Amino acid sequence: MRNSADVVVVGAGIIGSSVAYNLARLGVRDVLLLERDGVAAHASRLSAGLVRTHYSNAPEARLALAGTRWFENWSEMVGGDCGFVRTGLINLVTRSDHEKLRRNVAVLKEVGIDTHLVGPEELVELEPDIRVAEDELAAYEPRSGYADPAATTHAMADAARRLGAELREGVEVTAIRTRGDRVAGVETSAGPVETSHVVLANGAWSVPLAGAVGLELPIRALAIRLAFVPRPSTMRAGRAGHAVVLDRAHGAYTRPEEDDLSLVGLVAFRDPIADPGAYDVGRDPGFERQAIGQVAVRFPGFAGASVARAHSGPIDMTPDGCAIIDRAGPEGLLLAVGMSGSGFKKGPAIGACVAEMIVEGGARTSPVHAFRLGRFRDGDPIVSDAYAIAPESAAVLGPDNMVH
């Protein structure tokens, strides 16, 4: 392994791989991407891979839109296969949130997102099996869908390597070295590396590394779960067999998986974990029953489905549920962490932003000021016009289900 680099990127999930690729694209020759385990070993392998732009705050929506453009143009922008399937996305909310939905859709349109409101008739045209009441309202985004998170991350890391970045797997960064108030290098399990720039892209594992250079990151490690179940025979088969359905009213979501399964998840179901690596929390029949039950509110054919497989994965949660993308601490240190369970779709764009911050002095792909670390200290978090859960589902899932 080289013992000096222009930029050291810590972590080869989607974020670090994208930072490395975008640095190489912008002409940085000497990029070293260090990964303790393997490419896409953790969150970026286990993600649901939803690629959506419906958010209830504009800064995240802008980043998600910028990310979606990458998935839509993957072969030209990256190469390889990210497995993007454009299914469209239906975002359902509870009745008391219809005004909020109208407001959010107006904001999203201003951001440039292709989305519109749909009522029950159009919903049934889109998804013949869906159960909706006569006064129901949803937002539809035709360009959204899902991608294969591991394939996406590998394609990004491969592209970085093709442009000259060096990827080292099995190498752990153990400390950031400073000289005066500047970054001077990193200590690693394979020896020291001199560098003037370090990008932390290692999720909740970043907390102790940043802490050792005086930077307190408000990030909590949590585990979230997914289950994969047989798709009802009345629904279309295939990888684009149904839309991504994000049912805020009932706290659940689903997308197709392979030809004849569907993924089911609960938007706010999170297990606290002692450290970011302890996310394999085992099967939870309670979660599986609830996720299937809540998806079955809209698609009754899922009721009582057996679980084909299930897994859990780590998320790195910040107090406002939005990422930290910033320069902070010693000069030369950049943060791309705290993705809060929503970083996959934005990963390509976040990588571009961070590379632009290093090479061009500022992000041009999407504004990142709102994502600065200091917002927590300054009492200026990103505020979301988030949706509530319907009373009948709050009784099943508990009240704490606001999500953006």
Ligand X SMILES: Cc1cc2nc3c(=O)[nH]c(=O)nc-3n(C[C@H](O)[C@H](O)[C@H](O)COP(=O)(O)OP(=O)(O)OC[C@H]3O[C@@H](n4cnc5c(N)ncnc54)[C@H](O)[C@@H]3O)c2cc1C
Which residue stretch of 45-53, 76-84, 137-145, 372-380 sits at the interface with ligand X (rule: CB under 6 A)? 45-53
Helix (H, G, I), strand (E, B) or coil at 325: strand
- Give the nearest distance from C-beta 43 to ligand X in angstroms: 3
Per rule CB under 6 A, is residue 59 in the interface with ligand X? no
Task: Give the E-state strand segments of 170-323 in sequence order.
Answer: 173-179, 182-188, 193-194, 197-200, 220-230, 244-247, 252-257, 261-266, 271-272, 309-317
Beta strands in 235-364, from DSSP E residues, in sequence order: 244-247, 252-257, 261-266, 271-272, 309-317, 324-327, 333-337
The answer to whether 63 and 57 have CB atoms below 8 angstroms apart is no
| Contact with ligand X (CB under 6 A) among 22, 56, 94, 342 | 342
Segment 202 to 231, residues that bind ligand X, using CB under 6 A: 202-203, 205, 224, 226
286-325 footprint of ligand X as x/- string (CB under 6 A): ---------------------------xxx----------
Q: Which of 310, 313, 320 is nearest to 403 (CA)?
A: 320
- Scanning 112-220, the segments in alpha helix (DSSP H) are 120-126, 149-162, 206-211
Which of residues 37 and 81 has its CB atom nearest to ligand X in the complex?
A: 37
In single-letter form, the type of residue at position 23 comes to L
Near ligand X in 365-384, by CB under 6 A = none
Stretch that binds ligand X, among 40-48, 158-166, 210-218, 267-275 (CB under 6 A): 40-48
DSSP state of 143: T
Question: CB neighbours of 132 closer than 8 A, spacing ≥ 6?
Answer: 92, 120, 123, 124, 138, 298
Shortest Cβ 227–ligand X spacing (Å): 10
Cβ closer to ligand X: 93 or 209?
Answer: 209
Stretch that binds ligand X, among 120-128, 198-206, 266-274, 294-302 (CB under 6 A): 198-206
Q: Does 13 interact with ligand X (rule: CB under 6 A)?
A: yes
Single out the residue of 279, 312, 281, 277 nearest to residue 205, CA to CA: 277
> For ligand X, which residue of 25, 154, 250, 345 counts as binding (CB under 6 A)?
345
Nearer to ligand X, 146 or 302 (CB): 146
Q: Which distant-in-sequence residues (6+ apart) come within 8 Å of 292 by Cβ?
A: 227, 229, 264, 302, 303, 304, 305, 307
Using the contact rule CB under 6 A, the part of the chain among 46-54, 101-109, 115-123, 176-184 near ligand X is 46-54
- In the set 5, 43, 199, 390, which binds ligand X (CB under 6 A)? 43
Closer to ligand X by Cβ: residue 115 or 340: 340
Q: Which residue is nearest to ligand X (CB)?
A: 13
Closest distance between ligand X and the C-beta of residue 339, in Å? 3
Per CB under 6 A, the segment of 133-141, 197-205, 360-368, 375-383 that binds ligand X is 197-205
Smallest separation, CB 96 to ligand X (Å): 26
CB of 313 to ligand X, least distance (A): 3
Do 244 and 255 meet the contact criterion of CB atoms below 8 Å apart?
Answer: yes
- Measured from the CB atom, is 136 or 321 closer to ligand X? 321
Count CB atoms within 10 A of the CB of residue 232. Answer: 17
Closest Cα to residue 224, out of 90, 392, 42, 14?
Answer: 42
Does residue 35 bind ligand X (CB under 6 A)? Answer: yes
Stretch that binds ligand X, among 22-30, 37-45, 119-127, 157-165 (CB under 6 A): 37-45
Interaction of residue 341 with ligand X, rule CB under 6 A = yes
Neighbours of 299 (CB within 10 A): 24
Residues 6+ apart with CB under 8 A from 24: 31, 160, 163, 164, 165
Site for ligand X (CB under 6 A): which residue of 44, 178, 290, 294? 44
Closest to ligand X by CB, 12 vs 296, is 12
Q: Which of 327, 314, 354 is nearest to 33 (CA)?
A: 354
Q: What are phi and psi of 28, to 5 degrees?
A: -75, 120
Size of the site for ligand X (CB under 6 A): 37
Q: Which of residues 144-173 bind ligand X (CB under 6 A)?
A: 172-173
The answer to whether residues 294 and 251 touch, using CB atoms and an 8 Å cutoff, is yes
Residues of this chain that interact with ligand X (CB under 6 A) are 10-16, 34-37, 41-44, 46-50, 172-173, 201-203, 205, 224, 226, 313-315, 339, 341-345
